Every structure is written in C-alpha cells, then in structure tokens.
C-alpha cells in the first residue's frame, strides 16, 4: 500500500486522464477513419457514441476506481468479485496487447520527427519523400530502434510514480500539445482547401455512411476515450473522495473530442489543398501528409511541430497503458513500483517485437503471417479495438449497473458531485443502452449483422 500514489491536484488528474485519452487514436486513427467513412455523417454518429456510450462508461470507470482506491482487478474484487474479476484481468491483458503495437506506431512518429528536424521532408520534395517512408516501414532495424526508445521513455515516466512521474509530465506535455495544435490550426485556416475540408468534416453527407461505419464509430469511442481496459479506473483510483467524477468525465471527453476534431481540421485542409485523397487510410498521416508538407511554405517547421505533437500525444497515452499493468503488479502482487514498471515495460517491449518487424509491411500488406490471415500488428490492433476494449466495456458497465450495491454506487456518484441529478439517467444508459450497443458491435465483428 505504501507504494500507491496520489494526484497532487484535480487539474493534474484531468490533464493526465486527458493525456491518456488524447493519443494516436485522435490524431492518426480518427482522421483516417473519418476519411474512409466519408466525413460529416460519420462524425455526427461518433459524437453520439461519445455521449451515449463513452461518457457513461467513463463515469463508471472513474467511480469504481475512486470508490475502491484500487486498480481494475482489486476494484472488481472489492465490489463484488466472482467471475467479474475476469474483466479486471482483461484490462491488464489489454495493457500488454495495446501498448506492444502502440509503441511501434509511436516509434514511426519519432522517426518522422527526426526526418522533419533534419530537413529531409522538404529537402527531398514529394517524389523523394514517398519512397523514404516506404523504406522506414520495411526496415526492421529502424522499427526496433524507435520502438525500444519509445518504451524506454515511457518506462522512465511511469518509474517516477503517479505524482512525480505521470502527473508532472502531463502538466508539461498536455499544454504543449494544445499549443502546437493551435499553431497548426491557424496555418490550416489560411490554406485554400480549408472550405472543402470544413464541408467534408461537418457537412452532412449521409450517402457515405454504412452500418459498418456506425459500428466502427462505436468501437473507436472506446479506444479514443481509453475505456474498457481500466485505464480510467486506475487513474480514478488515485483521486480523493471529494473530487467530482461526472464533471471530470465530461471535461476529459470534451477535451478528447475537441482534439480529434481539431486534428481533422488541421489535416484535411492540407490534404485538400494539395489534391490528395481523404480516404487514404492509415497512410494519411504517414504518407499523404508528409508529401503535402514537403511542398508547403515552412514545411520543415510544420512537419516538425505535427510529428512532435503526435509523439507527445502517444506518450501520455502509453504512460496510462503501462500504468494499468504496473498498478496491477503493485496492488495485487505487492511489488515495488520500480520493479513493476521495468518488468512490465520489458515484457511489453518484447511482445511488441513481432509488431515492429511486421509493422513495416502493415501499410503495404504482405506481413509476417499472424492469426486470422493478418500480420501481427494488424492482429493486435484488431483484437484490442474490436474485442478486448468492447468486451471490457461491457463487463465494466454490466458490473457497475447490475452487480455493485446500489447504496454504495449512489453514494459514490453523489460524493463531491455537482451533477448528482443525472444518477438515474446514467444508470439507465449503463444498464441497457451501453450493453445493447456493444453487443451490436460484436454481432457485426462476427459477421451476423
Ligand atoms: N486513447 C488512446 C488513443 O486515443 C489509446 C488508449 C486506449 C490509451 C486504451 C489507453 C487505453 O490513442
């Protein structure tokens, strides 16, 4: 217990939790799935998923953590136990799986930051940039190098603990990230493709929306808000009794959404101004954007800012992923923080090696054969976004709504809360709406609908 940390302030918690939420999901994945799903209507559905599914689950996670002052496995044991503990365990598994490949993509962002900084993006021009990036993806050495470096930095932060590591870095990185985002946004305002981009993102183009797109939006709501694997629960466990759960959950969700939409407003004007394809998939950020930036005024500067921002966003999310595993080892196995952090970091880095080796071929197909005919990278991403997080979210919401004692739950919801009146509505969403939504995602994943 002595090793359990605590936030230094409410703001520190909100920044750290927003740091967890704002990540590659917002700046890399959200823009490209918005592009693939045709923009506007998809964005609207996504916003709906955030409010109706994401917000209630986030509230539940923070509540479970704050109530028990424990990480996922311990929290579930303390409030009901039984087979529900499986869902706590799933969270720890999620930490291993997600961080192992997340770190590979973060490594790409580090490599691009280096390329921008050394003037290569602008220096080589569009024709030179394209093969340059292809060669990163197929280089095992570069992928392994950046993956290892990113894991070392993540371990170094978590090693410092909740207050002196996670919170301290969130206080530095998050305001920096907001600042960089504003610089990029101002630049995008001035671009000729701004109007077209605005219409693409906010215009209501229903024709492009499919059932698959709706379910993708729901799945992404979990990923982007860091839900379903106990990250918010763990961060909530370092809160005080009198901290406002609902207001925190709303603030974190708003910050996450604003950053995701801003990322679109930064990227799509660049894409449209240079006549590139909005639906270019995972290569949007790593191929199309650098090609466009290589032709832009001040391209070196903007490319550097953009990729540094991507690295910061990834880092604060990776920290929370590592913290879930670390806090499990501390709470449940009685380990000291330093040992837990290094052990978890090394194991995750090792699990990530196949992703680093096949990550290179991810964008171009033909990877290292993994499961389900996908390469490892793809397999892990698929497992996490389509199975582990929704299943964890289902478990957490059902556990909170159907198993946790109402007296405890109600008291926890009201303690420190300015929005206690929403208790009934929250419970209804958690009991019925959230589970039905998640089950639909599963039925879709197995091809039934
Ligand atoms: N929310 C992070 C992102 O958008 C990813 C993440 C998922 C982090 C689950 C922690 C837990 O990139």
* CATH code assigned at 160: 1.10.4160
Tell whether 1 is covered by a domain: no
Phi, psi of 87 (to 5 degrees): -70, -30
Give per-residue pLDDT as tens, 286-333: 888 999 999 999 999 999 999 999 999 999 999 999 999 999 999 999
Residue 225 CA, closest ligand 1 atom number: 1
Residue nearest to atom 9 of ligand 1 (CA): 226
**Which residue segment(s) compose the domain that 327 sits in?**
10-445
Q: Which residue has the tokens 């496995």?
A: 73
38 CA → ligand 1 middle, Å: 23
To which residue do tokens 């340059």 refer? 132
Q: How far is the CA of 273 from the centre of ligand 1 (A)?
A: 30
Q: Which of 317, 380, 391 has most ligand 1 atoms within 8 Å of its beta carbon, as the pocket-test mutant?
A: 317
Report which protein residue has its CA nearest ligand 1's atom 11: 226
Assess if residue 3 is contained within a domain: no
Whether residue 234 lies inside any domain: the answer is: yes
CA of residue 220 to ligand 1 center, whole Å: 10
Ligand 1 atom having least distance to the Cα of 320: 10
- Domain tally for the chain? 1
Q: Please identify which residue in the block is written with the tokens 């009685």.
A: 334
Q: Tell me: pLDDT of 205 over 90.
A: no
315 Cβ contact list (under 8 Å, min separation 6): 106, 150, 153, 154, 157, 169, 173
Interval 354-392: pLDDT, tens:
888 865 454 444 433 344 445 677 778 778 888 889 899
Average pLDDT over residues 131-154: 88
Q: Which whole-number Å values give the CA distances from 73 to 231, 268, 352, 398, 434, in the listed order?
A: 12, 41, 24, 15, 22
3-class SS of residue 367:
coil
Residues with CB under 6 A from ligand 1: 20-21, 23-26, 98, 223-224, 226, 229, 231, 317, 320-321
Of 320, 325, 348, 385, the residue with max ligand 1 atoms within 8 A of its CB, to mutate for a pocket test, comes to: 320
Task: Say how many Å lie between the CA of residue 37 and the centre of ligand 1.
Answer: 21
The tens digit of pLDDT for each residue in 31-53 reads 988 988 889 899 999 999 999 99
Whole-number Å distance, alpha carbon 193 to ligand 1 midpoint, is 30
Report pLDDT for 373. 47
Residue 187 domain-assigned (yes or no) = yes
> What is the structure's pLDDT at 214?
86
pLDDT, one tens digit per residue, over 415-427 is 998 998 999 999 9
- Residue 152 reports pLDDT greater than 90: yes
Which residue, by CA, sits nearest to atom 10 of ligand 1?
Answer: 226
What is the position in ligand 1's atom list of the atom closest to the CA of 321? 10
Cα end-to-end distance, the chain, whole Å? 47
Residue 92 confidence (pLDDT): 93
**432 falls within a domain:** yes
């Amino acid at each position: 217990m002595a090793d359990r940390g605590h936030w230094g302030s409410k703001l520190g918690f909100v920044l750290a939790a927003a740091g967890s939420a704002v990540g590659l999901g917002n700046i890399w994945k959200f823009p490209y799935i918005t592009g693939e799903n045709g923009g506007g209507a998809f964005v609207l559905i996504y916003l709906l998923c955030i409010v109706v599914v994401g917000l209630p689950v986030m509230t539940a996670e923070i509540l479970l953590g704050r109530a028990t002052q424990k990480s996922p496995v311990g929290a579930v044991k303390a409030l009901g136990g039984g087979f529900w503990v499986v869902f706590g365990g799933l969270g720890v598994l999620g930490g291993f799986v997600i961080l192992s490949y997340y770190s590979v993509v973060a490594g790409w962002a580090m490599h691009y930051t280096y390329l921008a900084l050394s003037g290569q993006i602008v220096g080589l021009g569009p024709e030179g940039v394209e093969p340059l990036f292809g060669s990163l993806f197929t280089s095992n050495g570069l992928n392994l190098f950046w993956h290892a470096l990113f894991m070392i930095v993540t371990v170094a932060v978590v090693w410092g603990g909740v207050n002196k590591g996670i919170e301290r870095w969130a206080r530095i990185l998050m305001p920096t990230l907001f600042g960089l985002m504003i610089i990029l946004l101002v630049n995008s305002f001035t671009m000729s493709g701004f109007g077209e981009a605005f219409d693409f993102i906010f215009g209501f183009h229903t024709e492009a929306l499919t059932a698959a797109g709706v379910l993708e939006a729901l799945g992404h709501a979990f990923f982007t808000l860091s839900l379903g694997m106990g990250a918010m629960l763990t961060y909530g466990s370092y809160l005080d009794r009198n901290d406002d759960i609902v207001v925190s959950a709303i603030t974190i969700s708003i910050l996450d959404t604003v950053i995701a939409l801003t990322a679109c407003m930064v990227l799509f004007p660049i894409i449209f101004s240079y006549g590139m394809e909005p639906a270019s998939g995972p290569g949007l950020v790593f191929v199309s954007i650098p090609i466009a930036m290589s032709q832009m005024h001040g391209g070196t500067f903007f490319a550097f800012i953009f990729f540094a921002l991507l690295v910061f966003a990834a880092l604060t999310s990776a920290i929370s992923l590592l913290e879930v595993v670390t806090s499990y080892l501390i709470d449940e196995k009685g380990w000291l923080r330093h040992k837990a952090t290094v052990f978890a970091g090394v194991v995750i880095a090792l699990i990530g090696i196949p992703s680093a080796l096949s990550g290179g071929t991810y964008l171009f197909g033909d990877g290292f054969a993994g499961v389900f005919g996908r390469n490892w990278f793809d397999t892990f991403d698929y497992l996490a976004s389509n199975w582990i997080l929704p299943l964890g979210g289902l478990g957490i919401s059902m556990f909170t709504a159907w198993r946790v004692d109402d007296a405890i739950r109600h008291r926890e919801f009201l303690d420190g809360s300015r929005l206690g009146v929403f208790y009934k509505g929250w419970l209804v969403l958690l009991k019925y709406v959230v589970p039905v939504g998640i089950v639909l995602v599963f039925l879709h994943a197995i091809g039934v609908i």
